[in-house]
Amino acid sequence: MIAILSLVLPVFALIASGYLVRRIGVIGRPAVSELNRVVVYLALPALLFDVMAHAEPGELAQPGFIAAFGLACGIVFYGTLGLSLLAGRPLAEASLDGLNGSYANTAYMGFPVLLMLFGSDSLVPVTIASILTVCVLFASAIVLIEIGINSERHPLRLAGKVTRSLIRNPLLIAPVAGLLYGQTGLGLPVAAESFLKLLGGAASPLALVVIGLFLAEPRPVGAREVRASAGLALTKLAVQPVLTWGLAILMGVPPQLAAMAVLLAAMPTGTGPFMLAEFYKLPAVVTSAVILVSTLAALVTLPLLMLALGAGPQP
């Protein structure tokens, strides 16, 4: 419990830092959008390029793990998206709801938690989960948001406009470029490696500070937002890991690998959905609340899940 607390508290400290500097007037309101653009155009693309450039095809050949974790992500994402559409939400906002319920914080919390529990055996599975979450799931949401915000209704013209938007989007360009570069086998020069690590390392911390800045702005929060936030947090922390566990059993995933998949699926919502909400100027009240609530609730749900799975810290 103390080990989990030590990993989660810095998340709250970063959010609280942003909240405090906004409330005392050190940073103004425009900083939310401008700092988020730094994340979207610089820090996160560097992280995505770095992850994909180092992805070894042989190491990533874990079909059972990929199927269990990836299918659970997809089912939760599209299931939540469908329910939001049925409730009358626009496609762009419904896509954000889907991301809120399925976007696990595999990188910022998954790596240290699983390293503590399983040692170096966890590095490849966490990398796979991060690629599926940060690249595949993120890309799906971006495509749907682009379709949703585009006013063009003629199918061919709509496809053309969305395609042009996508090929200019740094969050899609970076992982594709990283994957292509990784296939050359050239490796990254030391200076480039350091540059990507420094810049990519700023993505999650800066995004958490931006969430604090956003939360510091006084705004009305209705009953719908409260219910939506609670429902999405519950989906993220309970529905997704249970679904992952069921799929892992169905596909015969080895016990330790299955436990890793379930724990990664049980991570709280990461900062990715908030980055997209700010980038596309979509309502972010529910998104910021889901990140905050799910991260706080993970203090209880993660230790309980570790106990149920029989996973303990490495000696």
- What is the tens place of the pLDDT at every residue in 171-193? 778 888 888 898 888 888 999 99
Q: Is residue 147 in a domain?
A: yes
CA distance 102 to 106: 11
What's the pLDDT score for residue 314? 54
Q: For the chain, give the DSSP string.
A: -HHHHHHHHHHHHHHHHHHHHHHTTSS-TTHHHHHHHHIIIIIHHHHHHHHHHT--TTTT--HHHHHHHHHHHHHHHHHHHHHHHHTT--HHHHHHHHHHHH-B-IIIIIHHHHHHHHGGGGHHHHHHHHIIIIIIIHHHHHHHHHHHH----SHHHHHHHHHHHHHT-HHHHHHHHHHHHHHHT----HHHHHHHHHHHTTHHHHHHHHHHHHHTS-----HHHHHHHHHHHHIIIIIHHHHHHHHHHHTT--HHHHHHHHHHHTSPB-SHHHHHHHHTT---HHHHHHHHHHHHHHHHHHHHHHHHHT-----
Neighbours of 7 (CB within 10 A): 17
Q: Is it the case that residue 315 has pLDDT exceeding 60?
A: no
Tokens of 191: 């200076």
Q: Which residues have C-beta within 8 Å of that of residue 218, sequence separation ≥ 6?
A: none
Report residue 104 CA to chain centroid gap. 5
**Among the listed residues 261, 259, 263, 130, the one whose alpha carbon sits nearest the alpha carbon of residue 204:** 130
Q: Is residue 314 part of a domain?
A: no
Pairwise CA distance, residues 180 & 49, whole Å: 10
Q: In which residue are the tokens 């956003």 written?
A: 214
pLDDT of 7: 63
208 is in which domain, residue-wise?
2-215+224-308
With cut-offs at 50, 70 and 90, classify the pLDDT of residue 274.
confident
Beta bridge partners of 269: 104
CATH of the domain at 140: 1.20.1530.20
Q: Which of 39-43, 164-168, 270-274, 297-301 has the lowest mean pLDDT?
A: 164-168
Q: What pLDDT score does 300 carry? A: 85
Check whether 308 has a pLDDT greater than 80. yes
Give dist(CA 18, CA 58) in Å, integer. 41
pLDDT for res 58: 67
Q: What residue has token string 């990664």?
A: 264
Can you give the pTM of this predicted structure?
Answer: 0.79
pLDDT given for residue 122 in this prediction: 80
Instruction: Give me 210's structure tokens.
Output: 């931006």
pLDDT tens for 115-149 read 778 877 787 788 788 888 877 888 888 889 888 88
More confident call, 242 vs 308: 242
66-94 pLDDT per residue, tens: 999 999 999 999 999 999 999 999 999 99
Total domains in the chain come to 1
Maximum mean pLDDT: which of 1-5, 148-152, 199-203, 204-208: 199-203
> Hey, what long-range contacts does 26-30 have (CB within 8 A, 24 or more apart)?
27/213, 29/217
**What pLDDT, in 10s, does the model give residues 17-65?**
988 999 898 888 888 778 878 887 888 888 878 877 887 766 667 889 9
Q: How many CA atoms lie within 13 A of 124 on its CB side?
A: 13
Looking at residue 59, its pLDDT comes to: 64
Question: Is pLDDT of 194 > 90?
Answer: yes
* 300 falls within a domain: yes
Per-residue confidence (pLDDT) for residue 165, from 0 to 100: 67
pLDDT(1) > 80: no
pLDDT at position 288, please?
86
Q: Is there a contact between 118 and 256 (Cβ–Cβ < 8 Å)?
A: yes
Which pLDDT belongs to residue 69?
96
Among candidate residues 305, 264, 291, 249, the one with its CA nearest the CA of residue 14: 291
Q: Tell whether the torsion through CA atoms of 101, 105, 110 and 112 is positive or negative.
A: negative
pLDDT surpasses 80 at 5: no
Give a yes or no: residue 313 inside a domain.
Answer: no
Confidence band of 312 (pLDDT split at 50, 70, 90): low
**Alpha carbon of 196 to those of 108, 191, 292: distances in Å?**
16, 9, 28
Structure tokens at 195: 């540059």
